[in-house]
Amino acid sequence: MPWPSLLESRERLPAVVDLAEGFATLLHQLGSVTPFELAVAGGRRMATPGLAFLVGYQAALRMLWPSAPPSLGALCATEQRSLRPADMQTRLTDLRLNGQKDFVTAGDAADWLLVAARSEEPGESPRLSLAVVYPGEPGVRVERLPALPLMPDISHGRLSLDGALCELLAGDGWDAYVKPFRTLEDIYVLSAMTAWLYGVGQDCGWSQALQLRLLALLAGCAEASRQPPSSPPGHVLLGGLFAQFDALKIEVDQAMANGSPDWAAMWQRDQVVMQLASGARAKRLAKALAVH
């Protein structure tokens, strides 16, 4: 991570309605960066917590699929609020996909979609493959869903697949992609959100002590990003980072309340996103600690 660029930067991109255009502008501004640099330098520049979340999500996707196109993408896995392979109905047959994914982050704005689909033979245990499809191609339809109260500036879509031709990624869809993405998303969203808070702290003149603690958290995120997403020690480290983030909540909330009402309102509305996956994180942490 080029820390001087974070410490010295005061740039912030304006909020945009077109998420794909906004992400393209960010990539043009940043140039060639690693996923962690994208999360941190990009998160720092975002106008809202929701947009910072989206940048962290995109960074995690690039760790999952290093050869991803340089444009907005999405992972399509959830069906009926479940990620369990046995609960999925989307099917892959002869490079064609049929089924539906209920909740796709920024799906209506995405240029490419990674789709988890069942691919086992009849009578076999559920097995997933990961395929790539492109919106606008025959059999690929994305319906924009109503905005949510949480991060209303980040759209969500429902993906319908009807005999859609796809490309397959190598490896098991669960072990190589869907399962590790949970950890990757945690790491890179935490990095992006912490960088966003650090930027707000710079702009609003938060105490030096709080800004330094946010920087220390980012340094820890840098180390976590170097761990394999299946590594038990990496999950313990990530658990420590979220504990550190949670410990800053009272101080961050107070700093927000004493500063810009606009920043404070955004943070009050959207900060709960950092708790949405806390149950899954706690289970991974408990398993990791049991190893040692």
User: Is the same domain home to 284 and 151?
Assistant: no
Tell me, what's the pLDDT at 75?
97
User: Is the same domain home to 184 and 285?
Assistant: yes
User: Is the same domain home to 183 and 281?
Assistant: yes
| Vertex 249 angle, CA 106 and 58, to 5° | 20
Last residue of a domain, which of 139, 168, 197?
Answer: 168
Average pLDDT, the chain: 94
User: Is the same domain home to 60 and 183?
Assistant: yes
User: Is the same domain home to 58 and 180?
Assistant: yes
Tell me, what's the pLDDT at 16?
86
Tokens for 105, please give them: 């982050």
pLDDT of 118 > 90? The answer is yes
Could you tell me which residues come within 8 angstroms of residue 279 by beta carbon, excluding any fewer than 6 positions away? Answer: none
pLDDT of 189 > 90? The answer is yes
Contact 44, 198 (CB under 8 A): yes
User: Is the same domain home to 161 and 40?
Assistant: no
Last residue of a domain, which of 112, 140, 168?
Answer: 168
DSSP letters spanning 104-137: EETGGG-SEEEEEEE-PPTTSPP-EEEEEE-TTS
For the segment 58-63, the average pLDDT, to the nearest whole number, is 98
- At 90, which CATH number? 2.40.110.10
Helix (H) or strand (E) holding 257: helix 249-257
Contact 67, 169 (CB under 8 A): no
User: Is the same domain home to 28 and 77?
Assistant: no
The domain total for the chain is: 2
Phi-psi sector, 222: left (phi>0), alpha (psi -120 to 50), beta: alpha
pLDDT of 2 > 70? The answer is no
User: Is the same domain home to 103 and 49?
Assistant: no
Question: Given the structure tokens 């794909």, which residue do they identify?
Answer: 20
Tokens for 266, please give them: 């955004």
Higher pLDDT, residue 122 or 163: 163
Tell me, what's the pLDDT at 266?
95
pLDDT tens per residue across span 132-186: 999 999 999 999 999 999 999 999 999 999 999 999 999 999 999 999 999 999 9
Amino acid at 98: N
pLDDT tens per residue across span 3-37: 777 777 788 999 888 999 999 999 999 999 999 99
Q: How far is CA 191 from CA 86, 89, 175, in A?
A: 32, 33, 24
User: Is the same domain home to 284 and 189?
Assistant: yes
pLDDT tens per residue across span 43-54: 999 999 999 999
User: Is the same domain home to 196 and 116?
Assistant: no
Q: Which residue, 150, 235, 232, 154, is CA-closest to 187?
A: 235
Tell me, what's the pLDDT at 11?
86
- Counting beta carbons within 10 angstroms of the beta carbon of residue 273, is it exposed (0 to 12), middle (13 to 18) or buried (19 or more)? middle
Tokens for 249, please give them: 């909540």
Q: Which residue, 14, 11, 264, 15, is CA-closest to 154?
A: 15
Q: What count of residues does the chain have?
A: 292
Last residue of a domain, which of 111, 143, 168?
Answer: 168
Domain that holds residue 95: 73-168
User: Is the same domain home to 269 and 196?
Assistant: yes
Q: How far is CA 227 from CA 111, 112, 192, 281, in A?
A: 29, 27, 17, 16
Can you tell me the distance from the alpha carbon of 127 to that of 132, in angstroms, rounded to the nearest whole number? 17
User: Is the same domain home to 91 and 180?
Assistant: no
